[in-house]
Amino acid sequence: MRKFGLKKLYLLVSSFFIFLLHLPFVFAKVEPSVKKNSVTPSLAGKTVVLGNDHSASTPIIANVYDSLSLALKGLSRQAFDYAIQGLGYMKGIGKLTNESIISIVDFSKPSSQKRLFIIDLKNYRLLFNTYVAHGANSGKEYANQFSNRPESYMSSLGFYKTAETYIGKHGYSLHLQGLERGINDNAYMRDIVIHGADYVNDQYVRLQGYIGRSWGCPAVPEKLSKPIIDKIKNGTCLFIFSPNKNYLAQSQIIRHSVSDDLAYNN
């Protein structure tokens, strides 16, 4: 009987000791799961607002500007930052079918410089860096006047979604859908498209100091038009940038995707 009582006491003490060993794990703090779909920091300390379908494969690349030496190639950091911000916003609202490719036209540069940059964000590659025209009434060497009006022969700034291809008077061309109301949303109606042009080449730069101008289209060199169009067609982001105060103040995409205290001042 006494032997049975000792055995029972031994079991009771052992159970209590085991309970004490596991006590820290019972009250351990469980870390909350990270929300996948909130915000992702951009490369300059700003934020990119992403959509609910964001996944780890979304190509918001923090150091692509530096890794591709885009500053040395002539792309302004301001143009790139706004482009990436807008890309995140456009993806978030479901406007893009391919967010891996982004095209940036940097109108802060003269047309004598190669100011079209087409970047593969997923694979860290600069696919094209070449000349691009602006509208005849937007300026001579620089584009500094912009319009959304038909027959203005001016360029329109802002964010576009690339659409379908077609064969027109300029040959193989690419429709553009302007996504900014009052800024570029007449682009499709105005036939603002990407096409090849014989006046977009370095020969014009040597002769007159700037390339030829279009009726508002971001025309590209003829020999590059087909590979460029085939790479960016059907739902990629095109951003035509200028440090234009009116555009930066009016653009809903810029205002929604960049917080006021982080906006550029120029």
Per-residue pLDDT of the chain (266 residues; tens, 9 = 90+): 444 455 555 555 555 555 555 544 444 433 333 333 333 333 343 433 333 343 333 344 558 999 999 999 999 999 999 999 999 999 999 999 999 999 999 999 999 999 999 999 999 999 999 999 999 999 999 999 999 999 999 999 999 999 999 999 999 999 999 999 999 999 999 999 999 999 999 999 999 999 999 999 999 999 999 999 999 999 999 999 999 999 999 999 998 866 433 433 33
Asked, for residue 115, whether it belongs to a domain, the answer is: yes
Within a domain: residue 250? yes
Q: For residue 9, tell me if it sits in a domain.
A: no
Q: How far is CA 219 from CA 22, 105, 111, 122, 173, in A?
A: 70, 11, 11, 26, 10
Q: Residue 256: what pLDDT?
A: 82
What total of structural domains would you count in the chain? 1
| 11 within some domain | no
Whichever domain contains 249, its CATH number is 2.40.440.10
Q: Would you mind telling me the total number of residues written for the chain in this entry?
A: 266
Burial class (CB in 10 A: 0-12, 13-18, 19+), 105: buried
Position 7 in a domain: no
pLDDT at position 255: 87
**Residue 22 within any structural domain of the chain:** no
For residue 5, what pLDDT is reported?
53
Residue 202's domain comprises 39-260
Whole-number Å distance between alpha carbons of 63 and 20: 49
Residue 182 contacts residue 247 (beta carbons within 8 Å): no
Question: Does residue 56 form part of some domain?
Answer: yes
Q: Would you state the pLDDT for residue 3?
A: 47
Paired residues of 106 in beta bridges? 241
Residue 24 covered by a domain: no
Q: Which of 230, 242, 162, 163 is nearest to 196 (CA)?
A: 230
- Count helices and strands in the chain by DSSP H and E runs: 7, 10
Instruction: State pTM to two decimals.
Output: 0.77
